[in-house]
Amino acid sequence: MHRRAGRARAGPLCTVVRVEGRCVRADGTGIDPQPRAVYDWFYFHDSPRIYVQGTVRQDTPRSWVDAATGTLLLGTDHAPVFDLALRREGSTDEERLSSESGWGDVTVGSGLLSDAIALRWRKPAGATALGDLEVTVRLRPDAECHRVSWSLEARGQAEPWSVWEVRFPQAVLAAPGSCSQLALPQASGVRKAVGAEPLARFRGDYPSGWTTLPFAALYDTDAGTGLYFGLHDPSGANKTFTADRADRREAVVHPSKGALPPAAAASTAVSLSWAVPALIDESVTFSPLGIQAWEIGLPASR
């Protein structure tokens, strides 16, 4: 349907910080046009086209910005990086947590690879029965592809608790402009004019004839930007995909016991979600299958 997304002109890698309320590159040069809002910066993305702003306190991305156009890709609201559900073995007792639910220890540091960022949440407040639960989110930038790859690992919970479901990552998307299109993996692929008309709810199981691809994209050729949202899973595990005008939250939903999540409640914005059953029954350490990739690009033709 489209040729491969176009790439920005080659240039210096972009490490962005906040200086007197302005967004600048590591060499001190400014970014023009400036994004419409500036927050505290908690990590960088070494791409000449994309950078991230967020809050250190909650480690929640508040905005992804296309540095080539200055376009904010997330809405003014925000969603937790993850939502996590744990269940007690042999019962229906459940604890639900999120990246914003209050944790005893939250850190940001380097990952296992030198170019990765690791965000860690430990010891959730108000849930001492879970013990030393730790959730690690790793982000790895790819400057050549203007991409951020996400992965998550949950471990350390006390017995007899196990991870039941993970929703990760989550974001509140903003349509780049009035001509914004949402590409959905329905059948052979469809486009919805979300910048001009309401989005009808779509739900399908992947892989199947009704849902054929493990990715979606929101883009606007007139605005010159777009965001690819894909789950790269070499195993091809079963997943359930939904697209709705919910609360602009995008999520990969990973039920570790194989149960599918309830349908999303309809509201007023685009919501995408994936349900991925785990391969084992007992989840001591839980790592959802596949890598979640967000990539900035623009279709070269309509």
Alpha carbon distance 280, 278 (integer Å): 6
What confidence score (pLDDT) does residue 270 get? Answer: 60
SS3 25: coil
Q: What is the pLDDT of residues 142-194, one digit of tens each?
A: 777 777 788 888 888 888 888 877 777 776 677 777 788 889 999 989 998 88
Of the candidates 180, 174, 59, 179, the residue with the CA atom closest to the CA atom of residue 120: 59
Alpha carbon distance 55, 59 (integer Å): 5
Alpha carbon distance 87, 82 (integer Å): 17
Instruction: Look at residue 300 and tell me whether its pLDDT is greater than 50.
Output: no
Give me the torsion for CA of 206, 212, 216, 221, rounded to 10°. Answer: -170
Alpha carbon distance 147, 153 (integer Å): 20
**Mean pLDDT over each residue of the chain, to the nearest integer:** 67
Alpha carbon distance 61, 295 (integer Å): 15
What confidence score (pLDDT) does residue 17 get? Answer: 41
What confidence score (pLDDT) does residue 31 get? Answer: 59
Instruction: Look at residue 10 and tell me whether its pLDDT is greater than 50.
Output: no
Rounded to two decimals, the pTM is 0.70
Instruction: Look at residue 234 and tell me whether its pLDDT is greater than 70.
Output: yes
What confidence score (pLDDT) does residue 215 get? Answer: 86
Which of 31-40, 126-135, 164-173, 194-203 is predicted with the least confidence, judged by mean pLDDT?
31-40
Lookup result for tokens 């070499």 = 234
- Looking at per-residue pLDDT, the higher value among 176 and 278 belongs to 176
Edge to edge, the sheet with strand 60-66 lists 50-55, 60-66, 71-72
Instruction: Look at residue 33 and tell me whether its pLDDT is greater than 50.
Output: yes
Alpha carbon distance 128, 159 (integer Å): 12
Amino acid in the structure at residue 101? S
Averaging pLDDT over each range in 7-11, 13-17, 110-114, which range is the top one?
Answer: 110-114
224 and 180 Cβ atoms separated by less than 8 Å: no
Instruction: Look at residue 88 and tell me whether its pLDDT is greater than 80.
Output: yes
